[in-house]
């Protein structure tokens, strides 16, 4: 890693990547770290690896399967591989770190 991972520098790098809602900032082994800032609608599809979100800023509703829960900055959210999930009704300043890890199909 050439520089520190802070929300400020990650969001600055993302802002300098036109048309992108996320960018990968770090990879090591099975770990991949991204910053994600959707624009009005979160249209992501399920992923093949387990993932952890660490909400950097904002708030809204997190939908995972049939579960709907409010979230706010500072929260950690876990999603197993292949589980449907997305963010809804999120604030304009919403951004989250995304940590993908483990084998395809998730850890058992």
The answer to whether position 26 is within a domain reads yes
The domain containing residue 25 runs over which residues?
Answer: 7-101
Taking residues 64-85, report their average pLDDT: 97
Q: How confident is the model at residue 3, as a pLDDT?
A: 63
Rounded-to-integer distance, Cα 52 and Cα 84, Å: 14
Asked if residue 106 is part of any domain, the answer here is no
Structural domain contains residue 42: yes
Under DSSP, is residue 11 helix (H, G, I), strand (E, B) or coil?
A: helix
4 pLDDT band, cuts 50/70/90, is: confident
- What is the pLDDT, as a whole number, of residue 96? 98
Q: Quick one: how far is CA 69 from the chain centroid?
A: 16
**For residue 25, what is the domain's CATH number?**
2.60.120.10
- Would 84 be classed as within a structural domain? yes
Q: Is residue 108 part of a domain?
A: no
pLDDT of residue 5: 86
Task: Please tell me the predicted confidence (pLDDT) of residue 69.
Answer: 97
Is 1 domain-assigned? no
- pLDDT of residue 2 exceeding 70, the answer is no
Is 2 inside any structural domain? Answer: no
Residue 107, domain member (yes or no): no
Total tally of structural domains belonging to the chain = 1
Cα separation values, 46 from 22, 29, 85, Å: 15, 21, 7
């Amino acid at each position: 890693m050439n520089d520190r991972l802070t929300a400020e520098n990650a969001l600055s790098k993302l802002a300098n990547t036109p048309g992108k809602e996320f960018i990968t900032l770090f990879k090591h082994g099975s770990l991949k770290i991204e910053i994600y800032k959707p624009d009005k609608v979160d249209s992501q599809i399920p992923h093949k690896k387990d993932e952890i979100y660490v909400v950097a800023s904002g708030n809204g509703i997190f939908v995972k399967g049939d579960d709907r829960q409010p979230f706010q900055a500072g929260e950690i959210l876990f999603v197993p591989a292949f589980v449907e999930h997305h963010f809804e009704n999120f604030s304009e300043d919403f951004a989250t770190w995304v940590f993908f890890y483990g084998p395809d199909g998730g850890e058992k």
